[in-house]
Structure 1
């Protein structure tokens, strides 16, 4: 007797196949949902981990005080009290394809002199340091280490300045007199975190002299003060600009920074290059005390500085205003805070 062949009903096979496909689809959806949730969690965690690392910030603040008191001092001299406060800081943002660097320099200092036996109420205040400088530079990576970049800089001082004793000399500078605003676009070379060089063939420089008192006694309309013509408050310049900066940690408590600027005005006397070169050495002795050495060299053909020459006929010293290189050195030993 031939055995009977066993066959499944068509409807049963169809139902089982549909159930298997539906179960597989649900499983695939669950796997995809789990993968998406894991990816989202990873992205959130990564963003949380790196957000705090996008910015690098730092700086140094220094406060130095000096005081001299003389009583019946046979060799002569003055009683004095003075000090200098300086802040040099930065905040830089590092993106995947962008770099944004910001820096600030603030400094102010002075001293008060008084004759022996007299109070400082009758003393002559003398300014020894006065500076405001703000810098910002944004760049987008073209091909490492080159960036397309835009730069901005603002420079001025806090208060009025005199060539000597304020009681006997007239004011020659003030807040926004002069003031400098520089903006430019160009290319930034950043091979590492220590060095950068910005080159711009098209940079705008606005010179501001916003103190009419500085023009007193000057009647010639062609006379310039800090590059600004008599009767005006601003002077527009267009030129090429180069700015380079290098900073490093020489040892654990010893850092060095230097930066330099070159500007050539296409519109007037392009052969005269404006030069700014600054260095800052910082030595940390302990948590609270340290030393800083700051130097600043300037040359601007539009700025006249006090000079002295010898009269050939009389041999006397004659004071006059002329072109020259400016140099300032500030050594500070006192309270130092690394930020």
Structure 2
């Protein structure tokens, strides 16, 4: 009996020991699983530094140009315009008109072709100005009232905001013969000018100052002018012969030239254009400095009708010892395109 009781006690003790060991193992396994879960959560929230090195490259953004089909637009650096003016004046008197007067007809015309090219830093300006007018009084022959051919070309390269280096070429003459008339109508008219008698060709290089679009100042430090008198008989009526030696047809002068141009709308429908030209020859005294001032003030009445007044002042000792001048007032048709 005693042996049997001891055996049962021994079996019971072993059973209790195995049960406690199983519970301990289960607790350790649960705790281990709990630790692993916490570690996973920790790594998920606070990831550790990667052991593999990774290079950080800066983000680069570049423009991507997409093809766009443009319409047929072209950039033009040229600007052109044409101005044509025609003035007509007429007066009629009966033979018995008490206040007196002379029947007369006068016609004047002006044609201007202007072209510009502007593409920085280069520019080119060309202008052709043609003037011609005649009047006819009863009992007298037709007489010129205006006659001029002027062709000016200028090339320029920009040096700074307002300064340019320029080269220019200009030509000046007239269309028709010019006469000096006897105020008493006793002596026949004397021929004193004609086409290319005189004629002027001027080449100039220098510096240009242009502070505004409407003002232009040229300083021609190197200027040459050729004077032509193709009619070798004009000196008989004009002893000065425009500075050309009688019997010859050509004279060349080296000079310093100043040209100032003002061209602006000074009021609504009113435009003012003025040009001053001073020519200082190096080979002659200062008394032979040539001054010429041309101005025209034009006011538009409507789209076609305009009123204009123009004038010229000239001092040139090669043609006269005193100041010469002309003035005209006209009402007529003016068309400008575009």
- Does the alignment reach a TM-score above 0.5? yes
Which residue number in structure 1 is paired with residue 153 of structure 2? 136
Normalized against structure 2, the TM-score is what? 0.74
Do the aligned partners of residues 282 and 152 (structure 1) sit closer, same or farther apart at CA in structure 2, a change above 3 Å counting? same
Show CA shifts across 1:161-212 (max 9, x none): 0111698112000000011111011111122211111111110000111112
Q: Could you tell me how far apart the structure 2 residues matched to 1:163 and 1:62 are?
A: 27
Which residue number in structure 2 is paired with residue 294 of structure 1? 310
Higher Rg of the two aligned structures: 2
Which residue number in structure 2 is paired with residue 80 of structure 1? 104
Deviation at 1:148, TM superposition (A): 1.1
Asked if the contact 2:170/2:201 (under 8 Å) is kept, the reply is yes
Q: Could you tell me how far apart the structure 1 residues matched to 2:227 and 2:208 are?
A: 24
Asked if the contact 1:224/1:302 (under 8 Å) is kept, the reply is yes
Q: Could you tell me how far apart the structure 1 residues matched to 2:214 and 2:97 are?
A: 53
Do the aligned partners of residues 255 and 74 (structure 1) sit closer, same or farther apart at CA in structure 2, a change above 3 Å counting? closer
Deviation at 1:74, TM superposition (A): 4.0
Q: Could you tell me how far apart the structure 2 residues matched to 1:243 and 1:324 are?
A: 22
Asked if the contact 2:309/2:329 (under 8 Å) is kept, the reply is yes
- Tell me, yes or no, if structure 1 residue 214 matches structure 2 residue 238: no
Deviation at 1:265, TM superposition (A): 0.5
Write the mapping of 1:74-223 to structure 2, written as runs, cut at 5 A: 74-75=97-98, 76-115=100-139, 123-164=140-181, 168-216=188-236
- Report the number of matched residues: 272
Q: Could you tell me how far apart the structure 2 residues matched to 1:257 and 1:66 are?
A: 23
Query: For 1:215, what is the secondary structure of its paired residue?
Result: helix
Q: Could you tell me how far apart the structure 2 residues matched to 1:59 and 1:124 are?
A: 33
Which residue number in structure 1 is paired with residue 292 of structure 2? 276
Asked if the contact 1:62/1:292 (under 8 Å) is kept, the reply is no
Q: Could you tell me how far apart the structure 1 residues matched to 2:288 and 2:136 are?
A: 38
Asked if the contact 2:190/2:237 (under 8 Å) is kept, the reply is no
Asked if the contact 1:264/1:271 (under 8 Å) is kept, the reply is no
CA RMSD of aligned residues (A): 2.5
Asked if the contact 1:285/1:291 (under 8 Å) is kept, the reply is yes
> Where does structure 1 lack aligned partners over 5 or more consecutive residues?
1-30, 116-122, 305-322
Asked if the contact 1:62/1:332 (under 8 Å) is kept, the reply is no
Asked if the contact 2:232/2:246 (under 8 Å) is kept, the reply is no
Asked if the contact 2:191/2:237 (under 8 Å) is kept, the reply is no
Which residue number in structure 2 is paired with residue 330 of structure 1? 328
- Tell me, yes or no, if structure 1 residue 58 matches structure 2 residue 75: no
Q: Could you tell me how far apart the structure 1 residues matched to 2:217 and 2:242 are?
A: 27
Q: Could you tell me how far apart the structure 1 residues matched to 2:237 and 2:148 are?
A: 27
Normalized against structure 1, the TM-score is what? 0.74
Deviation at 1:106, TM superposition (A): 0.9
> Where does structure 2 lack aligned partners over 5 or more consecutive residues?
1-61
Q: Could you tell me how far apart the structure 1 residues matched to 2:308 and 2:240 are?
A: 36
Range that drifts further, 142-151 or 174-183:
142-151
Deviation at 1:144, TM superposition (A): 1.9
